[in-house]
Each structure stands twice: as structure tokens, then as C-alpha cells.
Amino acid sequence: MLSEIAIIVVRGIAIGSIFSIIAMSFNIVHGATGILNFAQGNMFVLGGFAAFFLANGAGVPLWLVMLAVSAMLVAACVTFQGWITLLPLRSSVEQDSWLISTVAASTIIGAVLLITQGPYAYNVQGIAPSFRILGVRTPGAYALAFGCMLFWFVALRLFLTRTFSGLAISALSQDFDAARAAGLPVRRLQLVAFAISGLIVGSAGYMVAPVISVTSDAGLRYVLNGFVAAVVGGIGSNLGTLIGGPLVGVVTMLTAYRIGGAYQDLASLLVLVAILMLRPQGLFGRSSARRV
């Protein structure tokens, strides 16, 4: 009984860390462009595929090199996709176009993976040894997920507050027109934001590949859970995702253990609907002033 609770909490937080990471990758792009990239889940899965093809069963040095390679490969994909998405946009508010093109991009990536890799789940060997926590034997990749979340939280915070590009991206998120008027290279900054979001999901997908489903159709599930985490935390708030992600993770784990694995996605859908009904700005979101 007690061990079951421990399993639910430990694994829930670990899986939730992944959702939190995806939510952070949403936030940086959303701040800079107003876009929520639906293809982010498939980009995350691409990281998992990279782990399978580049570093399955590799030793630590090769694994580390390939981590950087994979993150950069995915970042290149996301940047290219971001470039395409931004092409028809003159401002950040025309949202029909990005909504459609990111969903289309997500479908294309999923379709290409299906055609080239088939509908199979790929097993990736972990680099980190399993360990015991709260008396529960836990795969090492779970610890990597948690660490990856903390790493990106700190890295993003430093980037957004200490570097010129980061500050400029923060400025974009606060007042797009003013930032443009102040002469910031808006389009370049937006591509930087896409690239960073690619580094985030690429590195995360690579590191946690052993414990996620590396399949052609898994992307949508991750993008949705990442979105729920972002909404629970409040879109735009990375601090919020640190709570939102693990919360969603524990809820889905609880559902899996108590009701059945098939109901996990239903549980996160219900969490999403509930939070949108009760507190649409999320736990840490600010309700922005309306402009007339």
C-alpha cells in the first residue's frame, strides 16, 4: 500500500518533469511569438529516436557527445519549422495561420516517422543505473528527467534575465510592438526562441528515451500533457510548470494505478477542462490587462 503510494509519487513526479520540460519549451516560444507549437511533442519524440539511433547502449563519453548532437539536431528541426511558421505572419496575432501550420507540421513529422520507422515502439537502453528512493526501485532515466527539468528551469531563468537576447525575448513577451519599435531584431529573436525550445525538447527526449514510448504516434500525447502542465502552472510561467508538470504526472500515475492505464489521457483532459473552467489563468499566471 505504502509502496504503491511511493511508486505513484516518485514516477508521477518524474513523468511530470517531462511534461514540465515540454511546458517550458512552449513558454519560451509563446513569449516571443504568441505561438503555441503543436509540433513540440513530435520534436520531443524525435529526441527519443535520436537516442535510439545514435546512442543506444553507448558508454558515458559517447552518450554525452550524442546528447549535444541530438539536442542540436532537434533544435535545427524546430528552428526550420519555426521559420516556416513565421513566414506568413506579419504580426504575432494572426493565429489561424500558425495554429494550422503547426498542427500540419506535427502531422507531417508523425507521418514521416510512421512511414520510415513503422508503428513499433523502440526500446532504448538507459545510461543511468536504476536506484532506490522511498524503497522503490526506479529507472535512472527518471532521475535524469527530474534533473533535466531543474537544469532547464535554471538555464532559462539565467538566459532570460542575464543575457541580452534573453532580455530582448522577455521584452517581446511583454510588449511586441514596443519591442519592434525599439529596433529589436524581432524575427531573429523569435527564431532563437524556437531554437532554444528545440534544444529543450531535444535534450529531454534524448535523456528520457528509456522511459517514454518512442513511437511515431506518441508525440500528440506528450504535447497535450505538456500543454496541460503549462495551463495548470499558468502559460508563460516557468515556475508554474515546476508545479503543473509534477501535478499532472501524479494525477495520470494515480489514474493508471487506481483506474487503468487506458484512462491516463482522459484524466489529464479532465484536469485541463477543470482548470480552464475554474482558474483559466493557471496557478501562477497573471491575467493580462485587456487592451481596447
Shortest distance, position 129 Cβ to another protein, whole Å: 33
Gap between the terminal Cα atoms of the chain: 56
- Judged by CB under 8 A, the residue of 91, 95, 123, 163 near another protein is 95
- Does residue number 144 form part of the binding site for another protein (CB under 8 A)? no
CB 261 within 8 A of CB 8: no
Closest to another protein by CB, 128 vs 265, is 265
CB 23 within 8 A of CB 225: no
Residues of span 5-44 touching another protein by CB under 8 A: 36, 38
Shortest distance, position 36 Cβ to another protein, whole Å: 5
Report residue 80 CA to chain centroid gap: 18
- Does residue number 213 form part of the binding site for another protein (CB under 8 A)? no
- Does residue number 178 form part of the binding site for another protein (CB under 8 A)? no
Closest to another protein by CB, 190 vs 268, is 268
Helix (H, G, I), strand (E, B) or coil at 279: coil
Closest to another protein by CB, 65 vs 84, is 84
Cell 546512442 sits at which residue? 55
Residues of span 242-271 touching another protein by CB under 8 A: 260, 262-263, 265-266, 268-269
- Judged by CB under 8 A, the residue of 5, 65, 68, 114 near another protein is 114
